[in-house]
């Protein structure tokens, strides 16, 4: 019995460095999506980051799959998933994300630091049929939900779209707008 406990303890020491999990309060007026709490989970072994934004009906969940260079966001109010390519020039690397999250966690509150980077995406109104092309993490999250592909608008502004955008703020480091160009609901 003692040997089993020691082995489990050692196993925990070896696996812990590959996983990180943080809670960040985002209760401030500068948060695009309102107030709430974000939970950031980073799995270095699988090169995946998961960000949950808990804010009632405006809640969302996003997976950044660095291995496959795709990200997906599940919008609870829209009951849909949006998939896009990761722009590695704008989105932080998994190591940088881990460091930024630790920094924000230690600060305890508020944005502080440089203004967040911004990305604007145009949502294709046609549903994606084959989720496997985005990898198992994204396919698992979006399975059974209407899923749409979004394309980044380089240097784009969401001001053209006004009310047709869903805006997310990832722990004060990245503002993302998912916009549609038609009146069609996604």
Q: How many CB atoms lie within 10 A of CB 8?
A: 9
pLDDT in tens, 134-149: 999 999 999 999 999 9
pTM: 0.77
Segment holding 9, helix H or strand E: helix 2-15
**Between 172 and 73, residue with greater pLDDT:** 73
Q: How many CB atoms lie within 10 A of CB 31?
A: 20
Fold topology of 20-179: Enolase-like; domain 1 (3.30.390)
DSSP structural state of residue 55: B
With vertex at residue 150, the alpha carbon angle to CA 62 and CA 83, rounded to the nearest 5 degrees, is 35
pLDDT in tens, 22-55: 655 544 444 444 557 888 999 989 999 999 999 8
The span from the CA of 113 to the CA of 111, in Å, is 6
**What ranges do the domains of the chain cover?**
20-179
Question: Tokens at residue 34, please?
Answer: 């309102």
């Amino acid at each position: 019995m003692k040997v089993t406990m020691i082995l489990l303890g050692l196993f925990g020491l070896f696996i812990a460095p590959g996983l990180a999990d943080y809670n960040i309060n985002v209760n401030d007026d500068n948060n695009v999506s309102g107030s709430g709490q974000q939970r950031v989970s980073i799995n270095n072994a699988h090169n995946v980051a998961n960000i949950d934004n808990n804010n009632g009906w405006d809640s969302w969940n996003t997976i950044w799959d660095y291995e496959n260079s795709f990200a997906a966001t599940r919008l609870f109010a829209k009951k849909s998933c949006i998939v896009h390519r990761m722009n590695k020039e704008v989105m932080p690397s998994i190591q940088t994300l881990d460091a930024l999250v630790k920094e924000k966690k230690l600060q305890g509150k508020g944005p502080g630091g440089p203004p967040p980077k911004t990305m604007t995406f145009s949502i294709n109104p046609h549903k994606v049929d084959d989720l496997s092309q985005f990898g198992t993490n994204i396919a698992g999250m979006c399975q059974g939900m209407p899923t749409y592909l979004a394309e980044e608008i380089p240097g784009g502004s969401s001001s053209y779209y006004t009310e047709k955008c869903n805006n997310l703020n990832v722990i004060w480091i990245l503002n993302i707008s998912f916009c549609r160009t038609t009146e069609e609901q996604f």
